[in-house]
Amino acid sequence: MESHYLLILCLYIFSEYTANGKVLKGTLQTNSDWTFFTRFCFLSQAGNFSYKVSYPKQYGYQSFLLYYDTANQWDAVYPGTDKTCDQKKEVLDKNGNQEVPLYTCTISNTSGVEYYVCDEYRTFISARERWWYIALSKCRAGEIQGMYLEYEIHMTNGDIGDYLHREYSADEFYITPMAIAFLLANCVLMALAIICAILLRARYLFHTTYKIFLFSLATWVIYLLLWSVGYGSYGNNGLEEKLRQVKTAGHVFESLYQISFLLLLVLMAKGYTITRGRLTNISTIKVAIFFTLYVFAYAVLIIWDPFFFDAGKVLYIYESPPGYGLIAMRIIGWMMFLYSFIFTIKHYPRKKLFFIPFFIFYTLWFWAGPVVILLAVLVMAEWTREKTVFGVDAFVALCGHTFFLILTRPSAANKNFPYHVRTTQIGLMVESEQNADRTNLGEFTDHPYAVSSENSSNSSGGQDLSYFVVSKERSKVSETGSYVPQNNDR
């Protein structure tokens, strides 16, 4: 019940509250005699298709053609076939009432022009959940070439009052409650992350990588909030255009999460803020080039989706070229993560107690999405893919953020804790490196971080450098390559 209260509150804040159901309104005008109109995944024996349409009688005999998702129906006529209008109509089951004539309805006269006016509905009964594709056709020539239609269409699943099903296409079932549940879980995680950030800052351990983590988590929370509001509002007012706008905004924040969290993982795999104070120039260039390409790929996705997405042949984003590109970029990101890990563990073997669990877990994070998407395409029914992939993505993101928070919790007094050097020391280390003309910039020692009154007594006001100090004047390097402070370095 609490989830429903949160949803209603979001709807009042971010959207207009109406109860019109799934509605398509507008005007269609084309020079063609056959065109794809819309699609919907109806439940078995629970689908309803109601329509209010009108068009001038001079346009002739227009009809809705209802195709279902089989190779001998929709795939046989769309896209890019050279069949005529009559040939496209011939694939329909003649006993299935799949042609809905719009010229047998009421004729009205408006300003001397006669209109066909229809206000009717159809019920869909099928053996299983099935995609239905609706096309507008005119196979017999009229006085005016092409087709024209003023329409208001309402498609539903389930009975009145069934909020989780009625206004949604079957492939969208349960996305709203999943989005709300993950939103609440991530809000709790965000609160814990902020508390940890405050504690880390008090101990001078609030490093750049943790700031990137907070940014990634915040953008993911905003994405889930937009998804909850968008689909919740859609379940009440059914306006597809508003949902599309909210989803586009959501994709922006999703891309920010993906890019920032990937940046975080690559930087930590390179040892940034763990084994070194800053990256080499070559590493910086490699990271910059990779993430420039990654940002470009996401920009293409956001532009492609609303303007070039063909709902007649693509059911969800990962069946389209931008989706393939995102999967490829994720795999390339893992390869860069792997390369960085191998390089770091080779030069800093004493940090393997942190890096090996870190690498194993986030390798699963990288590959979970592509594997589930592959299974969805090869194994899952078409009407289950979108909600399954959404749920898995949300779960993987929650696990990724939670694991990082566990690794960096301030109470960790073990060798897996990544931050062994305070932020106030990094500047001294880098300056010392530059003066010594070394290439391993800001190389950190392996001293374990321990939470104790001795180590944290000066954290609020001064700089407790008792376990690691770098002199501005001189330092020597041990055989392992770690800095060893001198007695007069204080």
The CATH number of whichever domain residue 44 belongs to comes to 2.60.120.680
457 lies in some domain: no
Whether residues 377 and 302 share a domain: the answer is yes
Whether 222 and 86 map to the same domain: the answer is no
Last residue of a domain, one of 407, 431, 458: 407
- Which of 39-43, 161-165, 326-330 is predicted with the least confidence, judged by mean pLDDT? 161-165
Q: Which domain holds residue 337?
A: 174-407
Same domain, 249 and 152: no
Are residues 117 and 199 part of one domain? Answer: no
Residue 307: pLDDT band (50, 70, 90) is low
Task: Tell if the pTM clears 0.95, that is, is over it.
Answer: no
Asked whether 148 and 102 are in contact (CB, 8 A), the reply is: no
Single-letter amino acid, residue 287: V
Mark whether 151 and 194 lie in a shared domain: no
Q: Is there a single domain that holds both residue 241 and residue 360?
A: yes
Separation between Cα atoms, residue 443 and residue 284, nearest integer Å: 16
CA distance 392 to 377: 14
Both 126 and 204 in one domain: the answer is no
Q: Would you state the structure tokens that stand for residue 396, as one six-digit string?
A: 């993987």
Residues 37, 70 within the same domain: yes
Report if residue 340 sits inside a domain: yes
pLDDT, average across residues 91-116: 87
Is residue 463 included in any domain, yes or no? Answer: no
Indicate the pairing of strand 483-484 with strand 476-477.
antiparallel
452 assigned to some structural domain? no
Long-range contacts of 212-216 (CB under 8 A, 24+ apart): 212/260, 212/261, 212/263, 212/264, 212/267, 213/261, 213/264, 213/401, 213/404, 213/405, 213/408, 215/256, 215/260, 216/256, 216/257, 216/260, 216/261, 216/264, 216/401
* Alpha-carbon span 59 to 284, nearest angstrom: 64
> For residue 84, what are the contacts with CB-CB under 8 A and spacing of at least 6?
139
Same domain, 150 and 198: no
Average pLDDT of every residue of the chain: 77
**pLDDT of 189-236, one tens digit each?**
999 999 999 988 888 778 888 999 999 999 999 999 999 988 887 777
Express each pLDDT in 39-97 by its tens digit: 888 887 778 888 999 999 989 899 999 998 888 899 888 887 788 888 999 999 888 88
The answer to whether residues 153 and 202 belong to one domain is: no
Task: Answer whether residue 477 is part of any domain.
Answer: no
The answer as to whether 105 is a domain residue is yes
Distance CA 362, CA 320 (A): 26
Task: Tell me the pLDDT band of 469, cut-offs 50, 70 and 90.
Answer: very low
Domain final residue, candidates 373, 407, 441 = 407
Q: Does residue 294 contact residue 329 with C-beta atoms inside 8 Å?
A: yes
Does the N-terminal peptide bond of residue 370 adopt cis geometry, omega within 30 degrees of 0? Answer: no
Nearest CA among 120, 62, 124 for reference residue 97: 124
**Are residue 134 and residue 210 in the same domain, yes or no?**
no
Task: Please tell me whether residues 153 and 179 are part of one structural domain.
Answer: no
Contact 51, 64 (CB under 8 A): yes
Query: What is the domain count for the chain?
Result: 2
Query: Given this model, what pLDDT does residue 113 score?
Result: 87
Residue 9 lies in a domain: no
CB 91 within 8 A of CB 76: yes
Last residue of one domain, picked from the residues 157, 188, 216: 157
Take residue 265 and report the two structure tokens written for it: 């993982």
Query: Which distant-in-sequence residues (6+ apart) come within 8 Å of 124 by Cβ?
Result: 42, 46, 47, 48, 49, 132
Statement: residue 459 has pLDDT above 50: no
Q: What is the CATH number of the domain that holds 326?
A: 1.20.1070.10
Burial of residue 189 (number of CB atoms within 10 Å: 0-12, 13-18, 19+):
middle
Rounded to whole angstroms, the Cα distance separating 176 from 201 reads 37
% of the chain with per-residue pLDDT over 70: 76
Query: Could you tell me which residues are beta bridge partners of residue 152?
Result: 25, 52
Asked, for residue 360, whether it belongs to a domain, the answer is: yes
